[in-house]
């Protein structure tokens, strides 16, 4: 019974990652950090590749996480878009609360290594990644009304494959929004339309791109964490801080009721992220 509950919990965490993957400016990788599956994804992808897909425990974990991820993508693509369109400011404030609440979790990770934390390399990594996210937001158009690709051809299959690769690779990089990158290359409408209409030919090409992106990105991040631990985490911190600028509301209503609503929503997001971290620490102390 406990095993079934734990497996359902993994699926739910993947589901939350999938929700984040739909919304421009919101990072699935950040959600993976918040719900404590980020490190496990990196580790288990490496185990699956090294075992040539014979490590059933690692493979099951990944299937559960990404099963939940795909479930969210297929069922909530249009719903989340409508929710963001109806409550744009509050939704963005809520995700800002999640990001700010997750920052202490990542910063704490930098204390888990014997490497020196504050060096020229880590400083450059932080500011370059911060500049990348801010720059991406400046050059990206957020027109989600552009006509999507609905018919698969040999010519457009390459860009669709690349879209899937980007969506999956960025899904495990905290702070980087796969949807925002898709907007930058003009493929976000195609991605959402294929999910909401269940366009099988396009989804098949997207799937293979996403599979390659997951394997490649996870292996790369795993390698970087082993060789350049502090630089990698300071890069992630820079991406997270930059993502706050990405999702900053374009319009703010400064009337008192709206301000109260924004504070409550921000606080709720912060508590969800940071509170889960505190709960996890207290639980570990109780088991000692």
Radius of gyration of the chain (CA): 19
Angle 85-97-110 (CA atoms, 0-180°, nearest 5)? Answer: 135
Angle 169-171-174 (CA atoms, 0-180°, nearest 5)? Answer: 110
Instruction: Kindly report, residue by residue over 106-125, the tens digit of the pLDDT.
Output: 788 788 888 888 899 999 99
Computed from CA positions of residues 67, 70, 74, 77, in that sequence, does the dihedral angle turn out positive or negative?
Answer: positive
Q: What is the pTM of this model?
A: 0.67
10-residue block means of pLDDT along the chain (288 residues)?
81 87 72 81 87 88 90 78 75 81 80 86 92 75 62 86 79 68 70 82 89 85 85 85 78 84 90 68 52
- Residue 63: how many CB atoms within 10 A of its CB? 15
Give the orientation angle of helix 38-50 with respect to helix 56-86, to 10 degrees.
140
What length is written for the chain? 288
How far apart are alpha carbons 39 and 41 in whole angstroms? 5
Range of the domain at 173: 2-287
Give the residue among 58, 33, 27, 57 at the shortest CA–CA distance from 247: 27
Domain count, the chain: 1
Give the pLDDT of residue 120. Answer: 92
């Amino acid at each position: 019974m406990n095993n079934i509950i734990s497996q359902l919990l993994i699926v739910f965490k993947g589901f939350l990652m999938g929700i984040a993957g739909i919304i421009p400016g919101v990072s699935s990788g950040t959600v993976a950090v918040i719900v404590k599956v980020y490190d496990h994804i990196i580790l288990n992808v490496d185990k699956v590749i090294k075992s040539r897909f014979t490590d059933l425990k690692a493979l099951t974990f990944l299937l559960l996480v990404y099963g939940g991820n795909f479930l969210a993508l297929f069922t909530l693509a249009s719903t989340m878009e409508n929710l963001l369109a109806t409550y744009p400011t509050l939704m963005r404030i809520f995700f800002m609360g999640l990001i700010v609440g997750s920052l202490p979790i990542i910063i704490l990770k930098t204390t888990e290594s014997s490497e020196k934390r504050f060096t020229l390399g880590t400083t450059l990594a932080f500011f370059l990644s911060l500049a990348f996210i801010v720059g991406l937001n400046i050059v990206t158009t957020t027109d989600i009304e552009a006509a999507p690709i609905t018919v698969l051809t040999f010519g457009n299959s390459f860009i669709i494959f690349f879209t899937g690769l980007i969506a999956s690779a960025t899904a495990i990089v905290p702070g980087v929004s796969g949807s925002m990158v898709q907007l930058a290359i003009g493929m976000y409408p195609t991605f959402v339309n294929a999910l909401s209409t269940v366009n099988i030919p396009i989804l098949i090409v997207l799937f293979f791109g996403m599979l390659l992106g997951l394997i490649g990105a996870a292996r790369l991040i795993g390698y970087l964490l082993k060789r350049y631990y502090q630089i990698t985490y300071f890069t992630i911190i820079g991406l997270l801080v930059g993502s706050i600028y990405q999702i900053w509301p374009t319009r703010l209503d400064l009337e008192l009721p709206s301000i109260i609503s924004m504070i409550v929503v921000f606080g709720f997001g912060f508590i969800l992220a940071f509170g889960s971290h505190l709960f996890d620490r207290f639980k570990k102390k109780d088991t000692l």
